[in-house]
Chain A
């Protein structure tokens, strides 16, 4: 085999290997995003109180994760994805504040259409008895309202720890803060929710 042929063979094999790795990585990202997207949507929706905006935020987070961090170890994806998503939610709130200021300046005020109706926005229940549907729906509406009423950082800590199941270290990465801050925010959030929802906390769907 000539040197040129050998070089070509090595180069071809290397390209094949790179292509295979890229395909595997894309499949891995696809599986990760498919696994996380529904919870991420609900978390974003609770954060911004609008499903369409939440869908946009989740898609933006997906694009940014794939572009910026796709080549990072998959174990890092969850906290990084939620860091991007939480930044998106914070930016959304900043934009809303500016938008409201501009609207007030223009003498428009907030549109009644912008008011969020928790009951109307509650998900359609599927496959449950009417009593269960009602009980769960009411309990989720109460819980959602209570979580939305939390200060932003407490809300983030609570949702990431409880809803997404991130550990303290992962939540700290997602929130760009120390693990001590995560513990403080989370503890205050639980305390506030107990106060808001009553001594017995959320009630509804627990299967015990």
Chain B
């Protein structure tokens, strides 16, 4: 029965065929986004380097929002996040975390509104 099994090469070939079909079926909007992204990448490469400076404000905002969230939320001291904080801070203050902080800030604002409603 063993010879009925597909060989590694066959499995790889069939997987590749399925993958290639899924690549061919990418929709026009996605292809357009890829095309724009490629041109943007080539343009950015032509422009003077400013990537480090570009993220200084973002990292500052991220740090400020983190502190804000920690202070704003009732009954949740920053002490609870400290065990993982060292490992996580690098990511939390990384250049791609701004969106997450905006989300957290939104939740913090919601909590404040909920509290106000409860009091009122």
Give A contacts to B, CB under 8 Å: 26, 29-30, 33-34, 37-39, 41-42, 51, 55, 58-59, 62-63, 65-67, 70, 91, 94-95, 98-99, 101-102, 105-106, 108, 122-126, 136, 139-140, 143-144, 147, 161-163, 165, 187, 190, 193-194, 197, 199-207
Bound together, the chains give a CA A105 to CA B88 distance in angstroms of: 13
Mostly helix, strand, loop or mixed at chain A's interface? helix
Asked whether B25 lies within 8 Å of A205 as measured between CB atoms, the reply is no
Question: Shortest CB–CB separation between residue A45 and chain B, in angstroms?
Answer: 9
Chain B 77-120, CB-CB to A under 8 Å as 1, else 0, gives: 00011001000100110101100100010010000000000000
Asked whether A39 lies within 8 Å of B6 as measured between CB atoms, the reply is no
Chain B 59-86, CB-CB to A under 8 Å as 1, else 0, gives: 0000000000100010010001100100
Can you list 9 A-B contacts (CB < 8 A)? A42-B19, A66-B41, A94-B91, A105-B80, A124-B27, A126-B24, A140-B22, A201-B14, A202-B15
Question: Shortest CB–CB separation between residue A109 and chain B, in angstroms?
Answer: 12
Choose one: B11, B24, B44; the contact of A202 (CB below 8 Å).
B11
Chain B residues whose CB sits within 8 angstroms of the CB of A165 once the complex forms: 16
Choose one: B6, B12, B41, B49; the contact of A199 (CB below 8 Å).
B6
Mostly helix, strand, loop or mixed at chain B's interface? helix
Bound together, the chains give a CA A122 to CA B6 distance in angstroms of: 26
Asked whether A30 lies within 8 Å of B38 as measured between CB atoms, the reply is yes
Asked whether A38 lies within 8 Å of B31 as measured between CB atoms, the reply is yes
Q: Which residue of the partner chain A has the closest CB to B1? A: A199
Asked whether A136 lies within 8 Å of B92 as measured between CB atoms, the reply is no
Q: Which residue of the partner chain B has the closest CB to A142? A: B18
Bound together, the chains give a CA A30 to CA B30 distance in angstroms of: 18
Asked whether B26 lies within 8 Å of A123 as measured between CB atoms, the reply is yes
Asked whether B14 lies within 8 Å of A70 as measured between CB atoms, the reply is no
Max chain A C-beta neighbours (<10 A), residue from B17, B44, B49, B100: B17
* B21 close to A (CB within 8 Å): yes
Asked whether A126 lies within 8 Å of B25 as measured between CB atoms, the reply is yes
Q: Which residue of the partner chain B has the closest CB to A108? A: B107
Q: Other than A37-B38, A124-B25, give 4 A-B pairs with Cβ distance below 8 A.
A: A33-B42, A91-B94, A187-B8, A201-B11
Question: Shortest CB–CB separation between residue A54 and chain B, in angstroms?
Answer: 10
Q: Which residue of the partner chain A has the closest CB to B81? A: A105
Indicate whether A206 sits within 8 Å of B76 (C-beta atoms), given known contacts A30-B42, A98-B91, A101-B88: no
Chain B residues whose CB sits within 8 angstroms of the CB of A102 once the complex forms: 81, 88, 92, 100, 104
